[in-house]
Amino acid sequence: MRVSKKLPAIQECIDKLEAAGLQVHMKYYMPDASNSTACTRVVISNHTYAIKNPRKEFEGLAICSPKDNFNREEGTKVAFNRALREVSATIGRDAIKELLS
């Protein structure tokens, strides 16, 4: 998956996670008539990676209030780090360090 060229560190992490068999999906929701808030959603899936926990998806959200200015790069950083924190809590900090080294 490709992410913004302005976020090379996150792109490097995504490449390493995908090389290990994890899948990363990002979705941006922009405000419209039915939704007044902007949101970035990152999902890390472990359909092929051998994680002990049967949980298949780890989600990170970054929600912007209607009064804030939406910044896609900042939302991506926040949401990605939140999803990665969930994966780390499941497989352990040492396993994440090994995956990302």
pLDDT along the chain (101 residues), means of 10: 83 91 85 71 75 71 77 88 90 87 87
Reported residue count of the chain is: 101
Kindly list the structural domains of the chain, giving each domain's residue range(s) and its CATH number in brackets, ordered by start: 8-92 (3.30.160)
Cα–Cα distance between 60 and 49 in angstroms, integer?
A: 19
Pick the closest to residue 37 from 45, 28, 46 (CA basis): 28
pTM for this prediction:
0.82
Q: 13 is written with which tokens?
A: 């992490």
Q: Residue 50: what pLDDT?
A: 55
The rounded Cα 61 to chain-centroid distance in angstroms is 8
